[in-house]
Amino acid sequence: MRSKPVFIIYIVMFLVLLRVDRVTKNLVMQNMQVGDAYPSQDSFFAIRYTLNTGVSFSMFEGQTEMLIVLHIILIILVTAACVFTYIKMKHPVLQTALCWIVAGGAGNLMDRVSYGHVIDFISVGSFPVWNFADMCVVGGCILIAIFLLKLHPKQEPEEIPADE
């Protein structure tokens, strides 16, 4: 069984990611007005302060209560997956991925509960505006894909004996 200090690393990682999300959103809220963009609205990359009452690509816009409940359920499920992988699988890439997903989900949940919307501010090209918490969720999902495609031990399918 792993020692407790390894588990502490994931707790610290979660807290650091959550703090970065909170700090970046607070910097935007304190220094910009909703709709502002720096350097300009026409820039390919900009810090663009927007409010998102939906989820990815503004789906389910205005459904704050339902989204809060959904976020809580998903965070509980992914946290349970974190505990399971910590106990059973013990693979650091998978544990890191799940930690990132929980941190991102928690950051956006804090926005929804506190403000009724999510603070988005990173704008690249014509892609929808996003935030650090979204980066954590997407990064975690990419790590899971890498784990499943490249790092997870392959299991050969069991042969079913033919009836003779």
* pLDDT band, residue 127 (cuts 50/70/90): confident
Question: What value does the CA radius of gyration of the chain take, rounded to a whole number of Å?
Answer: 19
Residue 154 pLDDT: 61
Q: What's the rounded Cα separation, in Å, for the pair 154 and 139?
A: 23
* Whether residue 134 lies in the annotated active site: yes
Look at residue 156 and tell me if it is in a domain. no
* Whether residue 120 lies in the annotated active site: yes
Look at residue 32 and tell me if it is in a domain. yes
Is the pLDDT assigned to residue 104 strictly greater than 60? yes
DSSP code string of 16-27: HHHHHHHHHHHH
Q: Model's pTM, two decimal places?
A: 0.77
Look at residue 153 and tell me if it is in a domain. no
Range from 18-27, 61-70, 83-92, 101-110 that averages highest in pLDDT:
18-27
Residue-number span of the structural domain to which 62 is assigned: 4-147
Range from 57-71, 72-86, 146-160 that averages highest in pLDDT:
72-86
* Active-site position among 21, 36, 111, 120: 120
Look at residue 162 and tell me if it is in a domain. no
Look at residue 27 and tell me if it is in a domain. yes
Quote the mean pLDDT of the chain: 83
Look at residue 94 and tell me if it is in a domain. yes
Mean pLDDT for the stretch of residues 18-26? 98
* Active-site position among 36, 111, 134, 163: 134
What is the total count of domains within the chain? 1
Look at residue 85 and tell me if it is in a domain. yes
Residue 35 pLDDT: 92
Q: What's the rounded Cα separation, in Å, for the pair 3 and 100?
A: 21
Structure tokens belonging to residue 92 = 């650091």
Query: Looking at residue 56, what DSSP letter applies?
Result: G
45-52 β-sheet, strand order: 37-38, 45-52, 118-124
Q: What's the rounded Cα separation, in Å, for the pair 162 and 147?
A: 34
Look at residue 115 and tell me if it is in a domain. yes
Long-range pairs of 67-71 with CB within 8 A, sequence gap ≥ 24: 67/112, 68/109, 68/112, 68/113, 71/105, 71/108, 71/109, 71/112
Q: How far is CA 121 from CA 32, 37, 62, in A?
A: 10, 9, 19
pLDDT in tens, 27-44: 999 999 999 999 987 889
Mean pLDDT for the stretch of residues 86-104? 82
